[in-house]
A and B are shown apart, each in its own frame.
Chain A
Amino acid sequence: GAVVSQHPSWVICKSGTSVKIECRSLDFQATTMFWYRQFPKQSLMLMATSNEGSKATYEQGVEKDKFLINHASLTLSTLTVTSAHPEDSSFYICSMDYGEMGSYEQYFGPGTRLTVT
C-alpha cells in the first residue's frame, strides 16, 4: 500500500516554456500533499503544502505565481513550473500524507527530473 506515482519521470524543456508535473496516489486518499525540490547533493527543500479544495501554502522564497499547484482531488496534485528558466532545473518530488490516525507518514513519488535548456 501507500504507492505514489509521478509523471513524467524526466522532462527537458526550453527556457520560457511551462511544464506540468502530475502526482497521484494509487491506493489511498491523501488529505495533504507536498511538493519538494532537491538540487544535486543537497537536502530536500519543501516548496509548498496543499490540502484538497484549498489554496497551497508556499514556503518562504518560493514564488507562487511561478510554481502553480492544483490539488484537484484526494488522489491527484499537479505542479506547473511556468516560464521555466535554467535555474529551475532540479529534481521535483511530491509526497502525500498517508495520515491514518494522525500518523503523518509521508510517502514520496519517484520524482521528476527537470532540465531547462
Chain B
Amino acid sequence: QKEVEQNSGPLSVPEGAIASLNCTYSDRGSQSFFWYRQYSGKSPELIMFIYSNGDKEDGRFTAQLNKASQYVSLLIRDSQPSDSATYLCAVNAGYSTLTFGKGTMLLVSP
C-alpha cells in the first residue's frame, strides 16, 4: 500500500524564520512529488513540484528530494503569517493518481 507520511504539527515558527516541512513516502517507484498549500476552508493550491534528486527553488520556497531516502521536504524562507496553512505532500508513481499525505499545519507568528 502506497503511503505518504507527514507530521501533523502544528509547526510553529516566528515571522522571518525558515519553516521546514518534511514528507516520507513508501513507494520506491514514485516519480513526481508535489507540495500543496491549503488554507482553512479552501481547496489545495499547488506551490511546488519536483521530479529529480536535489533542490528546486521558486522564490521563498525550496523543494528538496532524496529518492534514496524516500524523502521530500519543503523549505519556506522568511516565513510570513500569510504562510500559515496546512501543507500537503503528494506523490505520483507514474500514473495520474496522486497519493496525498495528511498534511502538516504551519503556524507563523508575527
Asked whether, in the complex, the Cβ of B96 is within 8 Å of the Cβ of A111, the reply is no
Asked whether, in the complex, the Cβ of B102 is within 8 Å of the Cβ of A104, the reply is no
Residues of B within 8 A of A (CB): 32, 34, 36, 41-46, 49, 51, 88, 90, 92, 95-98, 100-103
Residue of B nearest to A33 (CB): B96
Identify 20 residue pairs between A and B in the complex whose beta-carbon atoms are under 8 Å apart, listed by A's number: A31-B96, A34-B97, A43-B88, A43-B100, A43-B101, A46-B97, A93-B44, A95-B44, A103-B32, A103-B49, A104-B32, A104-B96, A104-B98, A105-B32, A105-B46, A105-B49, A108-B36, A108-B44, A108-B46, A111-B43
Residues of A within 8 A of B (CB): 2, 31-32, 34, 43-44, 46, 49, 91, 93, 95, 97, 99, 103-111
The residue among B46, B101, B103 with the most chain A CB atoms within 10 A of its own CB is B46
Extra contacts, 8 of them, besides A49-B96, A49-B97, A105-B32 (Cβ < 8 A), are A31-B96, A43-B100, A44-B44, A44-B100, A93-B43, A95-B44, A105-B49, A111-B43
